Amino acid sequence: MRALLIHNPIAGSGKSLRFTKRIVELFAKHGITLETRHLILGINPFDDALDTELAIVCGGDGSINYVVNCMREVGINPTLGIIPMGTANDFANALDLPMRPIAAAKRILDGTVRNIDCCKVNDRYFVNIFSFGIFTSASQRTPRAAKKQFGKLAYLKPGIDDIRTMRPIRIQFKTDRGVEYNGSVLVFLAFNGITAGRMMLTRQSRPDDGLMEIVVLESRHKIYSYGDIARYILGGNPDAVRHFRCSEIEVTSSQHRITDIDGERGPNFPLHITCEKGALKIKM
């Protein structure tokens, strides 16, 4: 069986470099030879490994996202293993995986293969979240060096800059379940996972139900919006926050905003977002 260990040497404060050797040794003891590959943007780790049956990703949501898009690009669907080593590890959290690298590696060895949903926006796949609006591109805009030094706290600065400017965007959307909307929003989130930056922002999301949970914060006067955001984060349900589930949604806008998929730059409007039920095989 061909098995790859794909790791991002700079994810999670360089943790992966410290653990890769131990993980390779652990798998070798169980008769599995792992070929290690660095995750390098622009290089598809499967280009010369189309017969890969198991791909273990050491990294955060951005690394998992990259690997999933790479395997789709070459048309293969190997079983995935996840060793959380990112800043927030929201997707691993949604799957309830162990956060300690060696424990996560053991879970891959002992676990069974489960079918987990994968979402897609235009031609890009995402595993945890697609978003636009305030806060949502904080990860993209946080320098890698700051993430390395401060972890999740590094997102505070761009997040606070967003709250201060708080620019609404007028959008229209329509889901396969008949929800239609035309109005101004501050935030749009489409979840496959359940958390963003480890904040519990969904109410019903599960990564294996074939549905996304959409969370929208409608724009109101600035002062009320601060309160809406705070109440929702703390578990309340202010009227300005709408959330519902669907497996397909079309979003249009005549304005431009940077979008985000799993912490990386996402596509521009118009957006066609779908949830593919059970499309990923994850050993866990």
Residues that bind Mg ion (CB under 5 A): 206, 209, 211
Question: 39 or 211, CB closer to Mg ion?
Answer: 211
Task: Look at strands 34-38 and 129-133 and give their pairing.
Answer: unpaired
Q: Shortest approach of Mg ion to residue 106 CB, angstroms?
A: 27
Q: Please enumerate in sequence order all residues whose Cβ is within 8 A of that of 46, keeping only pairs 6 or more positions apart, or say none.
A: 4, 52, 55, 70, 71, 74, 76
Of 126, 130, 107, 108, nearest to 117 by C-alpha is: 126
Nearest residue to 211 via CA among 187, 176, 236:
176
Q: How far is the CB of 269 from Mg ion (least distance, A)?
A: 23
Q: Minimal distance in Å, beta carbon 119 to Mg ion?
A: 8
Q: How far is the CB of 209 from Mg ion (least distance, A)?
A: 4
The CB-of-165 to Mg ion minimum distance in angstroms stands at: 31
State the Cα angle at 21 between 83 and 93, rounded to 5°.
10
Do residues 102 and 23 touch, judged by C-beta distance below 8 A? yes
Q: Closest approach of Cβ 163 to Mg ion, in Å?
A: 28
- Of residues 152 and 206, the one with the C-beta less far from Mg ion: 206
Q: Are 60 and 12 in contact (CB under 8 A)?
A: yes
CA atoms within 13 A on the CB side of 182: 1
Based on CB atoms, which residue is closest to Mg ion, 157 or 206?
206
Is residue 201 within 8 Å of residue 189, measured between CB atoms?
yes
Nearest Cα to 194, choosing from 105, 283, 88, 284? 88
